[in-house]
Structure 1
Amino acid sequence: MNDETPKLKALARLTALFSTNYAQYKSSGYDESNARTDFIDKFFEMLDWDVRNEQGFSENYREVIREDKVKIDGQQKAPDYCFRIGGMRKFFVEAKKPGVNIKDNPEPAFQIRRYAYTAKLPLSILTDFDEFAVYDTRIKPDKSDKASVARIFYCTFQEYEQQFDFICNTFSKNAILKGSFDRYVEENKNKKGTTPIDEDLLFFVEDWRIELAKNIALRNPDISIYNLNTVVQKTIDRILFLRIAESKGIEDADLLKTVSQSINVYEHLNQLFIRANIKYNSGLFKPESWIEQVRIDNKILSNIIVNLYYPDCPYEFAVLPVEILGNIYEKFLGKTIRFKGVKGGHSAVIEEKPEVRKAGGVYYTPQYIVDYIVQNTVGMLIKDKTPDEIAALRFVDPACGSGSFLVGAYQYLLNYHLDYYTNGKNKKAAIKKEKIYEAAHDAYKLTIAEKQQILQNNIYGVDIDSQAVEVTKLSLYLKLLENEGNEASGQLFRFSDMALLPSLENNIKCGNSLISTDFYAQGDLGLSDEEQFKVNCFDWDKEFAGVFKAGGFDAVIGNPPYTYLISDEIQRYFQWMYKYQDYQKDLYLIFLEKYSKLLKQSGTFGVIVSNTWLLSVTYRKIRQYLTLSYRWRKILYLPEKVFSEAVVDTHVLIFDYNVPKENDYFDVEVCRNKAVTQMHTVQFSDIPKDGSPINVTVNPKGRILFNKIIQQCRPLSDYCNIYNGVKPFEKGKGKPPQSDRVMKEKPYVLEGERTGKEWSPLLRGSLIHRYTNRWNSDYWIQYGEWLAAPRDPAIFTALQKIVVRQTGDSLIATVIGPGVICRDNLHIIINNSDLSLLFYLALVNSKLLNFIYEIINPEKGEALAQVKKSHVEQLPIPVINLSKKSDKTAHDNFVALVDKMLELKLQEHAEPNPKAKTMIQRQIGAVDGQINEAVYRLYGLTEEEIGVVEG
């Protein structure tokens, strides 16, 4: 508490001053500006915040952004303070004059909640120094809410000293740096009403889409499905853009609202779009006569527009991050409008796109992953360069979706340029050349012209979906205008006819990044219009002729699609065009091959992809290609699910298009809780070049040990046959000969029913534990043709077999006798050698082979981890010669130890006395230790190598 004593003394002086002149400060003559200067600024300075930027941080890294009053239509459009760490918003503070009743007046509460909810900030503060209120701003605000709704803390200035621990430990800069703020947020999450803005706004946007689609389909009976999707998308994009421009003061207040009250709303909207086209000249508002002739009912458009305005609208568009809008649109693009009925009729419905349905949904890349990739590609390439040097660099996302990676790259470039120009030695020249201007006292911004130039010079993208292309452009335009106000359309262009937005027609294009026009060399394919759109051939060298004349792109970034519905024609094309594919079931593998055709020599790609390319035994060609053609710079291991809705395991690759050298090194990093740390450095010579699976998460010592063991052993499949268990009849997939001949559980299978030969015990994975089978008449099955596939009789008749549980992140096995049917969540090992099956069981359950297994298939800690049959087959087994006395002794010792272990496990399960059970468990631990020590001796491990395994 000693560290806080000076702060408490300063706080006591400040509250005493306020108390002494209380009546004056509460009077109408004392305004908010004075309250901020006299009290609120000083209060937050006590919490270690550099409110006045006395440290002289650059614009991008000021700790506190203090906004001047911006009012549009009588409503303030930005919070008074934004508190940031490393340029990232943490919370807002809205200040009022002391005469305002914060405790009971709902309007100021609604105001701060709208700001912070829209900005997706969890907590924010409302204060006039007389009162101090904290709101949980994850709870969606409503205009009818009382001031107390979502308020989680309240005190008056007389209670500041008493409540200082809470305030300081939550909102001080040091508390945020130490994680106290985030912990407090985490402890108070999942409260009723905490719907994130991206989910909430997506609901509204999708509702607009269905209402527009139904109405346009009804009023325009001849419209095609493609044109229907286009006009709906453009209408939503244009309305959103103009509403956001209004909120920033770039457009007149109530521009859209006025139009919504006209006699013919759509006609007046189109007139507005034509004027916007002249002003912005970007393609976003480019007039198209067929779109202008579409009929839309007034009621539909008016309802959309009115609900975008205060107080009906819970969002403040002036502070809406572009990244959140991108998240919304990414999911929005996963669905499409279809006509309902055989002949279409004129009823429209919204359906998930087939390729999205197959992939299990749309997965938006989290911002921290975008930032990591951009920093390690764009950031690396522009480091220490001048703006003139950067102007020659080209960055592309060949599957750009809603544009999240391009927006991230653009933001990084904007930050770099502003830092460069505001550097002391560059500032004067940058102002003279109109690269920056002073927006407020000692606060600078890039000019619109400079931001336009950066965008057109550096940012490129392609997507097969025309709607995605339009959304990417929209996202980039909104990023360009993100921190602008009314000066963007006024002061900056008093002497210029330059439009506010640049054209991106030459930068962001629609096409299939993987298919060129040579696709049609296959002959007349007789493709339908819909199939033509799916093919959507794209010739990179023609579409970006200038880029490829200069050698190609400097960096490729993005998140390529992982799965896709591929026609036979496209499949044949891929097999002909791409030479390093074992088979095409994941498009990301083809993208990994395509990147070398897009990059300059020494160019870089940074992408997040599935980790199957490194680990699957089937992907040998692409693995060999990437190991021989690229210098690996970084791999970011992602043990936590990046895409919460998806089951795919991912990692980030940062590779340079350069032939690697054996003495090259690359970094393996790990990301946990969004924090990146170094795991280890790997020498490239340690990576197999023959296409063998690679586990980069193993530290170098573990890799050396792994290679040593693999070289001196043979795979388990050389000694044993490994099978998958049987798959019972699945409902909806054919019909069994008798309706009751399916898997039955104990309640339905009585003793008298099991007298025939058809019934057999059914063993499931959940019943198997190390050296233990917990089956106890739980499940039975009638085995026959109705099961998924016939099986080798040996899996039923073998006197002994090892079963390995499929579900889990480690090897769990035991031995069972004949006559038991194993479910398909078990793998079956049947001995085909002169060694005892118990010998193999000891090895499979040992620490060493579990260590080896984690290298072969690194799914440790993953929620949906699975032991795969192919990985069991690869387990390394030493060569044992039973005619050799030492080998025979070692072998027999394993058999004796496992016999003892199986006996102890049965005793443990049957023992009801807890004390006796504990004694048995201690014996089990001792035998387990003996087995592990014997395994280490068998494989010839040194003490240091044992340490690697145990570690």
Structure 2
Amino acid sequence: MKKFKSNYSQYTNKNYNETETRRDFLDPFFEAFGWDVANRAGKSQTYRDVIHEDKLKVGKETKAPDYAFRIGGSRVFFVEAKKPGVNLKEDSLPAFQLRRYGWSAKLGISFLTDFEELAIYDCTRKPSINDKASTARIEYIHFEDYLKRFDFLYEILNKESIEQGSLEKYIAGSSNKKGTESVDIDFLSTLDNLRTKLASNISKLNKDLSVRDLNYAVQQIIDRIIFLRAAEDRGIEEYGDLKRTCENKNDNFYNNLLGIFKRADGKYNSGLFDFAKDSISGNIEIDNKVIKEIINELYYPLSPYEFSVISVEIMGNAYEQFLGKTITIGRNHSAKIELKPEVRKAGGVYYTPEYIVDYIVENTVGEAIRGKKPEEIANIKILDPACGSGSFLLGAYKYLLNYHIEYYNKIKDRAKFKGSKEDVIKENGDLTIWIKKQILRNNIFGVDIDSNAVEVTKLSLLMKCLEGESPASIQNNQDLFNERALPSLEDNIKCGNSLIGNDFYESQSVLDFDEEMQYKINCFDWEYEFKNIFKGGGFDVVIGNPPYVFVKYVDWADDVKGYFSSNYDITNKDNKSKSNQSGKINLYTLFIFRVIKLLKENGVFSFIVPNGLLRTTTYDMARKFILDNYHIDFIADLKDGVFKGVTAPTIIFKFSKSSSNDDTKIIDANCLVDGFVNESKCHYINQSIFLENTSYTFSIFSNPKETTLFKKMESNNKYLGDITSQIIEGIVCKKEQILLEESNDPLCRKFLEGKNIKKYKIDFNNKYIIFDRKKLHRARPDEVWNSDKKIIIQRISGGLHPIVAALDTENYYSFASTNSILIRDDFRDIYSYELICALLNSKLINFYYVKNFTNASTLTVNISKTFLEKIPLPIIDLNNKQDKEMHDKMVALVDSIIALNKKLAVEKNPNAVTMVNRQINAVDKQIDVLVYKLYNLSDEEIKIIEG
């Protein structure tokens, strides 16, 4: 600072340039905060602290920021450097440049500096060319204030502090979320806009084109334009090539575009530009106006995107959402974009966060290749059988590339750059393109039922393969190997229905189905399509995020449910309940069944799926299949919040096709921090105990002490199901059949919903139903409604106290959001309604239910009849004086708490309300203490529950 201040006029002179500023001031400035700016450690390009971007000048624009600061190979912020004398406080263009880079790379903040001034910008806000320099600026510091603000600068710039999370905390506390829109969401909007314009115009001008061919042509054109536009910003293609196709108004712009596409085929050989395969998009008409509009929207200043820094992963996120939609043609050949039916039923498309992909890849691909040489890794086959936009395959490919970079850079003599065919790494330490192509072809495989998804997966992988390349490296590849830049992935990424083989047509003819249904069923013969892999025994690693869709919601379900029933063990032969019908089977469980035939011996697979797999009765046969065929290596319970906009809890599992007797590692969400597992907080459980559980539930959070306690509770061999005549869901009807006031109809009955059931209390809110069996979907037996007493519980509940029970003595009728429980007449003296109501509301039974049947889900769960039936009961002998006293005392306590709740309902004085609530809590505690005595629990065992 003294140096800058003492020679201020020299450094702000117009002859003092930006390069000198970086060398004299900025490099030392950032080195003072712990960054290896000059790469003195000699790290490869992939892992060095700071990347100095080679700037590509396009008019007044540059195509990359000056510095990219990284930790572990991942960017944390950009720095855009200017020479002193530029007015950074007021000049809006440098700020816009920086914010474009930061927003496109999905960074939280980035820095603009000429050393004289330092400005920090919030990069979560979408930039606009019309923004002022002050827009999204969250700090401005003059060099004379650097020492005063040193503590602050150290917190957000020091490498060690950032590694410990200081930057994330700062961003979380300073970013103004108003007006923010992430680049992937915005890019999705752009893709939708491009698709709508193209589809409408192509449909209007090419009336003979089918809907399927229209979708195909639009997807191909968009993918090609995006690929080439990104190549331009990365300096691989000449900047503005696409834009120049629209310069001469007398030309046919689409023909000009086709010319560029065909030249690209000669250069890349990726299949993306293969017009021998694609005879549709080369033979259609598109208006000049539409072509010009969609291309201009991808260029500065209309476009906020800087493709040189948008990662393939970010674009993949947008494409995943994009693939959930399809083009339909309406009247007058107008095109409309709408959600696919199965996506609509599933509530949308949910892109797997990158940290989840990385975690799964690390624990599968990482373990499969650890310690291996490249020639050994070449034989490892990695599959995603429902690849979507390719996020998991992209994660696996990235992991393999980084592993090879580290491997080759450690053996300098073998990896030495020679400028010849033998090169495996370039001078900067990155892999040469022929090695990247070889890894892609050898290791990465995927299948998806959606042909557009297959094309997007290829696009993502090819763009990853092309990262870091230049026109010179591509030309060098052609000169040395006489081959085009990219590999064809036709043998790696294929379109088909992973769940249905060609044996589907053994009992029926292809001609039994119309052409549209044939495309939807889309049989896939795994052993034929990947014959060489199956000759070697199958795939080594299977990863992914399969679709969470019930079979009944899939538009081809009716035609294939018989196939699923006969080819997958989805039905419990001993249980004919409706929960086991194929319509209630979710596609993700069918993938679990399918993978066993795809894996080689000792192969592994890992999915992220809903945690209902662990406990819901619908999936009992899936759990049985897992226990019979796989070793469960680990289950990571992620709880909720993994998928944006979805609160459904999820798990990650890893299974291996082996007969290992090792225990299963259980990883709670609290053990996972930024994708790293705190091993000291994990516990282990032997999967064999799950075979003994009701419905084969995976009770993953019961520790040995709890398991011993539960065995003690179950030792009496008396369960709720033994003493009940009914545990039954309420009336199934339409919501509009529920009346908001009493009717004169003699069939009118008082009606309850689940929310009206409280602990020992019924809040009747004056709703009614006309109980006409002919008009109700499922009216339930008269026995339920005519009983003098019954217990009603909430059927949809959750948390650590999911069972909420009330005693009904007023013949209420209730909705499907409740369960009603009737006790058999021959047990009502011993197991009275009051006693059973107390047990169901007790801490002990709720603890038992949560640990055995919900895995402590923080969200709603279905209180299932199957699980209620398996609640263990204490043995009571009314001839025994002590048992009789405890029973009678329990009945009295329940009567007391019911009376207190009635008193509370009419009490208005706030002091009295407080007093009655305290009395209710006191009685509730007495009930819990008495329940412990009924089960003969020791003080240590009670501590387990109370803890």
For 1:317, the aligned partner's letter is F
Q: 1:851 to 1:812 in 2, by over 3 A?
A: same
Verify: 1:158 aligned to 2:162, yes or no. Answer: no
Q: Give the corresponding residue for 1:617.
A: 617
SS in 2 for 1:828: strand
Q: Give the corresponding residue for 1:670.
A: 669
Deviation at 1:44, TM superposition (A): 2.5
Q: 1:190 to 1:278 in 2, by over 3 A?
A: same
Q: 1:301 to 1:700 in 2, by over 3 A?
A: farther
Does the 8 A contact of 2:155 with 2:166 survive in 1? yes
Verify: 1:356 aligned to 2:359, yes or no. Answer: no
For 1:372, the aligned partner's letter is Y
Q: Give the corresponding residue for 2:444.
A: 459
SS in 1 for 2:270: coil
Q: What percent identity do the matched residue pairs reach? A: 44
2:835 pairs with 815, 835, 839, which one? Answer: 839
For 1:100, the aligned partner's letter is V
For 2:290, the aligned partner's letter is I
Superposed counterparts of 1:354-753, under 5 Å: 354-424=341-411, 428-429=415-416, 434-439=422-427, 443-491=428-476, 493-524=478-509, 526-563=512-549, 564=551, 565=554, 566-581=556-571, 582-584=580-582, 585-646=585-646, 648-661=648-661, 664-670=663-669, 674-675=674-675, 676-677=677-678, 678-688=681-691, 692-720=696-724, 721-731=726-736, 742-745=737-740, 748=741
SS in 2 for 1:875: coil
Does the 8 A contact of 1:394 with 1:554 survive in 2? yes
SS in 2 for 1:406: helix
Supply the distance in 2 between the matched residues of 1:523 and 1:807 (Cα, whole angstroms).
Answer: 42
Does the 8 A contact of 1:668 with 1:680 survive in 2? yes
Deviation at 1:580, TM superposition (A): 4.7
Does the 8 A contact of 1:250 with 1:488 survive in 2? no
Q: Give the corresponding residue for 1:823.
A: 815
SS in 1 for 2:561: helix
Does the 8 A contact of 2:67 with 2:80 survive in 1? yes
2:86 pairs with 95, 100, 104, which one? Answer: 100
SS in 2 for 1:723: strand
Does the 8 A contact of 2:202 with 2:285 survive in 1? yes
Q: Deviations over 1:342-397 (max 9, x none)?
A: xxx63322222222222222121111111111111101100111111101111011
Verify: 1:224 aligned to 2:210, yes or no. Answer: yes
Supply the distance in 2 between the matched residues of 1:918 and 1:730 (Cα, whole angstroms).
Answer: 36
Q: 1:909 to 1:164 in 2, by over 3 A?
A: farther
Supply the distance in 2 between the matched residues of 1:260 and 1:634 (Cα, whole angstroms).
Answer: 56
Does the 8 A contact of 1:615 with 1:857 survive in 2? yes
Supply the distance in 2 between the matched residues of 1:590 and 1:201 (Cα, whole angstroms).
Answer: 33
Q: Deviations over 1:856-882 (max 9, x none)?
A: 332645344443444333322223232
Supply the distance in 2 between the matched residues of 1:406 and 1:351 (Cα, whole angstroms).
Answer: 27
SS in 2 for 1:126: strand
For 1:884, the aligned partner's letter is N
Does the 8 A contact of 2:733 with 2:778 survive in 1? no
Supply the distance in 2 between the matched residues of 1:462 and 1:527 (Cα, whole angstroms).
Answer: 23
Q: 1:621 to 1:426 in 2, by over 3 A?
A: farther
Q: Give the corresponding residue for 2:846.
A: 850
Supply the distance in 2 between the matched residues of 1:695 and 1:558 (Cα, whole angstroms).
Answer: 24
Count, aligned residues: 913
Deviation at 1:916, TM superposition (A): 4.7
2:54 pairs with 46, 61, 68, which one? Answer: 68
Q: Deviations over 1:882-902 (max 9, x none)?
A: 233332222222222223333
Q: Which moved more, 1:129-138 or 1:598-607?
A: 129-138
Q: Give the corresponding residue for 1:286.
A: 274
1:772 pairs with 750, 761, 768, which one? Answer: 761
Supply the distance in 2 between the matched residues of 1:388 and 1:629 (Cα, whole angstroms).
Answer: 31
SS in 1 for 2:430: strand
Q: Which moved more, 1:288-297 or 1:358-367?
A: 288-297
Deviation at 1:273, TM superposition (A): 1.1
Supply the distance in 2 between the matched residues of 1:826 and 1:176 (Cα, whole angstroms).
Answer: 51
Does the 8 A contact of 2:415 with 2:424 survive in 1? no
Q: Give the corresponding residue for 2:892.
A: 896
Q: 1:408 to 1:42 in 2, by over 3 A?
A: same
Verify: 1:791 aligned to 2:780, yes or no. Answer: yes
Q: Give the corresponding residue for 1:328.
A: 318
SS in 1 for 2:237: coil
SS in 2 for 1:246: helix
Supply the distance in 1 between the matched residues of 2:912 and 2:346 (Cα, whole angstroms).
Answer: 52
Does the 8 A contact of 1:141 with 1:314 survive in 2? yes
Q: Deviations over 1:668-709 (max 9, x none)?
A: 342667544443111233332675222223334333433443
Note the residue ranges of structure 2 that are not aligned, 5 or more in a row.
572-579
Supply the distance in 2 between the matched residues of 1:47 and 1:268 (Cα, whole angstroms).
Answer: 51
SS in 2 for 1:849: helix
Aligned Cα root-mean-square deviation (Å)? 2.4
SS in 2 for 1:788: coil
SS in 1 for 2:541: strand
Supply the distance in 2 between the matched residues of 1:106 and 1:778 (Cα, whole angstroms).
Answer: 63
Q: 1:664 to 1:766 in 2, by over 3 A?
A: closer
Q: 1:147 to 1:800 in 2, by over 3 A?
A: same
SS in 2 for 1:319: coil
Q: Deviations over 1:766-822 (max 9, x none)?
A: 3333223333x5434443343332232343333332222234312222223223232
For 2:272, the aligned partner's letter is L
Supply the distance in 2 between the matched residues of 1:774 and 1:872 (Cα, whole angstroms).
Answer: 23
Deviation at 1:639, TM superposition (A): 0.6
Q: Give the corresponding residue for 2:929.
A: 933
Does the 8 A contact of 1:668 with 1:697 survive in 2? no
1:277 pairs with 265, 268, 280, which one? Answer: 265
Deviation at 1:909, TM superposition (A): 4.6
Deviation at 1:331, TM superposition (A): 1.2
Q: Deviations over 1:249-271 (max 9, x none)?
A: 11112111111224111111111
Q: 1:149 to 1:169 in 2, by over 3 A?
A: same
Q: Deviations over 1:448-500 (max 9, x none)?
A: 01100100010011111111111110000011112333443345555442211
Deviation at 1:710, TM superposition (A): 3.3
For 1:291, the aligned partner's letter is S
Does the 8 A contact of 2:217 with 2:280 survive in 1? no
Q: Which moved more, 1:196-205 or 1:568-577?
A: 568-577
Q: Deviations over 1:180-221 (max 9, x none)?
A: 322332334563320111111111111111111111111112
Q: Which moved more, 1:819-828 or 1:505-514?
A: 819-828
TM-score, structure 1 normalization: 0.91
SS in 2 for 1:182: helix
Deviation at 1:433, TM superposition (A): 6.7
Supply the distance in 2 between the matched residues of 1:689 and 1:521 (Cα, whole angstroms).
Answer: 38
Does the 8 A contact of 2:666 with 2:700 survive in 1? no
For 2:262, the aligned partner's letter is I
Q: Give the corresponding residue for 2:575.
A: none
For 1:373, the aligned partner's letter is I
For 2:557, the aligned partner's letter is S
Q: Give the corresponding residue for 1:183.
A: 169
